[in-house]
C-alpha cells in the first residue's frame, strides 16, 4: 500500500500496520458529523414552541450549519497547512462539543451561535477527512469512502431516532436532548487524539497549487450535483418530521420515520462508491439513485400513511447512494491526488452553499402557502436538475486543471 511521502521505512511500516485502527477512528469521528443536524429536526416543534421561532426562522436554524459547511471549506486546508490536518480535526471535534452545549443552554442567541460553531467545526473536519483518506488509503479509497459516508449516515440515523426519546427521558426538555451529542463528540476527540496525531504535517496536496477548475465544465457538474442532491438531503433532515406531523403522525413516530430513512442510507452509502466503479461510467447509477430519492420523498408526502415506512426506506436508499456517488465522483473525475483535494474543496464550497438554500426556501414556501404542495414542486425541480448535473458529472472524463508546485 502506498502511504504518503513519509521519511524512513520503519515509520512507513508502522503506519501501514496502524491503518486498520486509523480507519476505525475515521469511522468514529465521522459518526459525529451529522447528529448536530439530524438531531434537531424531530425537536423543531418543541424548539419553536419554547423560543417562538417562525417556520422561516426554524428553516434558517437548519440552514445555518449547512451554510457553514460551504463558507468554512476554504479554511480547512489553511489550518491544516499550519497546524497539520490531525491537530485541526482534533480542535474541530472539541469546538463541536462546545457549540453543541452553547446552543442548548444559552437561550436564543446561544441557539444560533452554537449552531454556527458546530457547523463550522463540522465543515472543517469534512474537508480534511477525505484528504487523509486519499493520503493514507490510496488503494482502498472506494471502500474507505464508503465507510466514511456510511458513518455519516449512521450518526444521522441514530440522532434522528433518539432525539425525541432523549427529550422524554429528560422530562420533556429538548435542551438535554440537544446537549447529549456533545458526549460522543468528546469521545471522538479522545479516540482521534489517541490514534490520529501521528501525521507530521497536513496533506501533501497543500504543497501544490491547482488552477483552472472554475473553467472546467466537468468540475461544475460535480459541484452542482453535490449541491443539489444535498438540497434534498437537508430538506429531508430539516422538514420531513414536520411534514409527517402535519399529516397526523406523532412527533415520536415522525422522528422514527426519519431515523428509518437515514438508516436505510447505510446500505447504499457503503455500496455506492463500489457501484460507481462497476459500469462504463456513472450516469446510470446517478439516474437510479435520484429516481429512488424523488419517488420515495413524494410517496412520504402523499402516499397512504400506512406505507410511509416503506417509502422512507426507498428515500433513504436513494439519498445514501446519491451522496456516496457524489463523493466518489470527486475522485473519479480527478486525474491525480492534488486535483482531488482542490475539486473536493470546490464541491463543498459550491455544493453546500447551494444546499444551504433548500431548507430555508422550503420553510418560506410552507409559510407562504400554509401547506406543502408548492414545496413538493420545488423538491421535484431540484431532483430533476440534480439528475441532469449528475449525468454530466457521470461522464468518463477528467476535469481540466493545471497543477503547479507552490514556491
- Residue 80's pLDDT is 76
Render pLDDT for 79-115 as a digit per residue (tens, 0 to 9).
877 787 788 899 999 999 999 999 888 878 888 999 9
pLDDT averaged over every residue in the chain: 83
Mean pLDDT in residue range 358-369: 86
Give the list of residues 6+ apart from residue 72 with CB closer than 8 angstroms, or none.
119, 120, 123, 124, 127
- Residue 312's pLDDT is 96
Q: In this structure, are residues 234 and 355 in contact, taking their beta carbons and an 8 Å threshold?
A: yes
Q: Which domains does the chain have, with CATH numbers?
A: 9-405 (1.20.1250.20)
Q: How many residues does the chain have?
A: 407
Render pLDDT for 293-302 as a digit per residue (tens, 0 to 9).
999 999 999 9
Question: C-alpha cell of 112?
Answer: 444560533
- Residue 268's pLDDT is 93
- Residue 288's pLDDT is 95
pLDDT over 90 at 66, yes or no: no
pLDDT over 80 at 138, yes or no: no
pLDDT over 60 at 329, yes or no: yes
Q: In this structure, are residues 324 and 145 in contact, taking their beta carbons and an 8 Å threshold?
A: yes
Rounded Cα distance between 220 and 401, Å, is: 12
Mean pLDDT in residue range 9-38: 73
Binned at pLDDT 50, 70 and 90, residue 12 comes out as: very low
- Residue 185's pLDDT is 93
Instruction: Give how far the C-alpha of residue 190 lies from the chain's centroid of Cα atoms, to the nearest Å.
Output: 22
Rounded Cα distance between 348 and 81, Å, is: 19
Render pLDDT for 194-223 as a digit per residue (tens, 0 to 9).
875 544 444 444 456 667 888 899 999 999
Could you tell me the end-to-end alpha-carbon distance of the chain, in angstroms, rounded to an integer?
29
- Residue 207's pLDDT is 57
Binned at pLDDT 50, 70 and 90, residue 392 comes out as: very high
Residue 291 CA: distances (Å) to CA of 68, 238, 296, 317, 387: 29, 21, 8, 10, 8
pLDDT over 80 at 163, yes or no: yes
Q: What percent of the chain has pLDDT over 90?
A: 34
Instruction: Give how far the C-alpha of residue 288 lies from the chain's centroid of Cα atoms, to the nearest Å.
Output: 20
Render pLDDT for 219-273 as a digit per residue (tens, 0 to 9).
999 999 999 999 998 888 778 988 999 999 998 898 889 888 988 988 998 888 8
Binned at pLDDT 50, 70 and 90, residue 1 comes out as: very low
Q: Quick one: which of 266, 253, 261 has its CA closest to 235?
A: 261
Amino acid at each position: 500500500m502506498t502511504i504518503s511521502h513519509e521519511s524512513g521505512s520503519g515509520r512507513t511500516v508502522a503506519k501501514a500496520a496502524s491503518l486498520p485502527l486509523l480507519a476505525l477512528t475515521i469511522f468514529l469521528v465521522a459518526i459525529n458529523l451529522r447528529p448536530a443536524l439530524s438531531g434537531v429536526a424531530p425537536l423543531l416543534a418543541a424548539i419553536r414552541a419554547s423560543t417562538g421561532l417562525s417556520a422561516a426562522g426554524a428553516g434558517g436554524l437548519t440552514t445555518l450549519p449547512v451554510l457553514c459547511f460551504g463558507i468554512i471549506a476554504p479554511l480547512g486546508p489553511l489550518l491544516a497547512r499550519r497546524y497539520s490536518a490531525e491537530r485541526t480535526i482534533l480542535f474541530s471535534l472539541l469546538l463541536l462539543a462546545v457549540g453543541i452545549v452553547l446552543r442548548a443552554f444559552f437561550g436564543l442567541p446561544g441557539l444560533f451561535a452554537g449552531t454556527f460553531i458546530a457547523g463550522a467545526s463540522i465543515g472543517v473536519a469534512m474537508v480534511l477527512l477525505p484528504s487523509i483518506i486519499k493520503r493514507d488509503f490510496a488503494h482502498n479509497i472506494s471502500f474507505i469512502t464508503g465507510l466514511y459516508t456510511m458513518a455519516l449516515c449512521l450518526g444521522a440515523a441514530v440522532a434522528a431516532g433518539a432525539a425525541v426519546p432523549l427529550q422524554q427521558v429528560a422530562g420533556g426538555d429538548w435542551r438535554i436532548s440537544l446537549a447529549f451529542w456533545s458526549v460522543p463528540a468528546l469521545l471522538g476527540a479522545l479516540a482521534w487524539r489517541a490514534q490520529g496525531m501521528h501525521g507530521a504535517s497536513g496533506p501533501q496536496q497543500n504543497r501544490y497549487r491547482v488552477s483552472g477548475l472554475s473553467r472546467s465544465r466537468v468540475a461544475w457538474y460535480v459541484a452542482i450535483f453535490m449541491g443539489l442532491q444535498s438540497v434534498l438531503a437537508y430538506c429531508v433532515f430539516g422538514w420531513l418530521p414536520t411534514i409527517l406531523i402535519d399529516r397526523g403522525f406523532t412527533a415520536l413516530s415522525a422522528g422514527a420515520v426519519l431515523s428509518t430513512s437515514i438508516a436505510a442510507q447505510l446500505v447504499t452509502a457503503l455500496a455506492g462508491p463500489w457501484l460507481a466503479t462497476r459500469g462504463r461510467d456513472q450516469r446510470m447509477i446517478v439516474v437510479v439513485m435520484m429516481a429512488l430519492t424523488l419517488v420515495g420523498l413524494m410517496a412520504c408526502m402523499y402516499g397512504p400513511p400506512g406505507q410511509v415506512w416503506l417509502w422512507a426506506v426507498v428515500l433513504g436508499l436513494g439519498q445514501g447512494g446519491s451522496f456516496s456517488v457524489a463523493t466518489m465522483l470527486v475522485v473519479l473525475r480527478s486525474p491525480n491526488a492534488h486535483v482531488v483535494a482542490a475539486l473536493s474543496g470546490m464541491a463543498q464550497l459550491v455544493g453546500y452553499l447551494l444546499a444551504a438554500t433548500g431548507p430555508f426556501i422550503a420553510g418560506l414556501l410552507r409559510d407562504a402557502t400554509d401547506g406543502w404542495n408548492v414545496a413538493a414542486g420545488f423538491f421535484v425541480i431540484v431532483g430533476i436538475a440534480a439528475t441532469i448535473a449528475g449525468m454530466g458529472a457521470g461522464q468518463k472524463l477528467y476535469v481540466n486543471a493545471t497543477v503547479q508546485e507552490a514556491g
